[in-house]
Amino acid sequence: MTNNTVIDEFRVCQAALSQPYLRTTFNNQNNPSAYVTPGPECREFTWLGEYSTAWTNAMNWAGGQVPSSSNDVYFAANSLNCALASSSACKKLTTEGFTNVLSLGTNNLAVTGDLLHSGGTIQIGISAGTGMDVTGSISNSATISCAGASRIFCAGNWINNGTFTPDISTVTFDGSSQISGSTVTAFSNLTVSGTLTAPAGTMRVAGVFENNGTFDHNSGTVEFNGTSSVTGTSASAFNAITISGTLAAPVGTMSIAGNLVNNGTFTPGAGT
């Protein structure tokens, strides 16, 4: 060693270090940008699913913790299939770049924020009374598929730019909500227990339209395209109605400001 030697690092080890270890250490320190290529940031409550499909298994989550109702959850491009084995909760739920399936089965998922669904498929319930309860808005530009008499509660807006398959489910709007989006939403059963503003275009109801709150028709059209009925404790005021299935009017009052197009069967009942 000469007098002008510069030592970058000096280590004293109790065991001999192998040549591959020394070479790797040198390369890493000499040119770290070429040796290590950082990937995208993995947020703490990002679903990985590398151990199993169980939501409640901490090993499946980045950060090693199962989320609670105060944690934002992310499903990303590298996220695998996920299934609920019991009722679970999160805050905001985002699926961005996700290409697999989040299955709720017979369990409930409480989302205390918004549902921003832009990738993959969310499969909701197969039994009555189970499904998803969203305190915020639902924005769908991917696929939401319901099975059986499952339920969705939405307290915010419903923005549908994707595919919604209702089966015989019930969607309940229990806050201040508005339906919009580039895709016509076809509901099976729809319940209003808060305030609901319909889209300016068309929405479809194949089953029961139950109004126990305030319904604003927004100059749009409701198409009843199944075995449908209008019920509820509040009088429903529609702008325009198209019947392509069967429609039973309520016992109370139902009003139509515009056209009634009947291509099916209309049963007026004893109402007004």
Q: By C-alpha distance, which of 238, 243, 249 is closest to 264?
A: 243
Q: What is the pLDDT of residues 114-130, one digit of tens each?
A: 999 999 999 998 777 78
- Please state, as a whole number, how many other Cβ atoms lie within 10 Å of the Cβ of residue 39: 7
- How far, in Å, CA of 87 to CA of 80, rounded? 20
**Type of residue found at 234:** S
Return the pLDDT at 194.
Answer: 98
Name residues of the chain where pLDDT drops below 70: 1-11, 13-25, 28, 32-42
Return the pLDDT at 33.
Answer: 66
Return the pLDDT at 3.
Answer: 62
Give residue 225's region: left, alpha or beta (phi > 0; psi -120 to 50): alpha
Provide the H-helix boundaries in the chain: 19-30, 32-35
190 DSSP 8-state letter: E
